[in-house]
Amino acid sequence: MNAQNKVLIAEVKKLQSAKKQQTDRFDGLKKILREMEKEKRKVEEKIGNLSQPIWAQIKEKCFVKFGIDRPYYHGGKCNGNAMVKLLNKTDEVMEAVKKY
């Protein structure tokens, strides 16, 4: 029985060692993931929300500045007034879009 206990103790130690290795690996991966999330947030702050469509960003940053909006009652499409403003301020709007 003593030899059997030694074998079991050795097995338990091997399992504990393997568990420690896996836990350390897991903790390391969690740390890397946290760092990657921080970097992602920094990039998103610089270029805006990555999931937001580019047209929505242009609309927000360029069109609204010139009073060109897409009213909800037209399904979010430009109406006549918005098109007139766009055509009257074409150069300024396109310059803003180009800078964007």
Tokens 């609309």, located at residue: 59
Judgement on whether residues 66 and 92 belong to the same structural domain of the protein: yes
Judgement on whether residues 64 and 46 belong to the same structural domain of the protein: no
The pLDDT of residue 14: 95
Residue 58's CB is within 10 A of a number of other CB atoms, namely 15
Residue 53 tokens, joined: 């469509």
d(CA 64, CA 24) in angstroms, rounded, equals 51
User: Amino acid identity of 78?
Assistant: C
> Pick from 51, 70, 90: which residue ends a domain?
51
The pLDDT of residue 73: 52
The pLDDT of residue 1: 67
pLDDT tens-digit series, residues 1-52:
688 889 999 999 999 999 999 999 999 999 999 999 999 888 877 776 555 6
Structural domain count, the chain: 2
Domain coverage including residue 31: 1-51
Judgement on whether residues 39 and 85 belong to the same structural domain of the protein: no
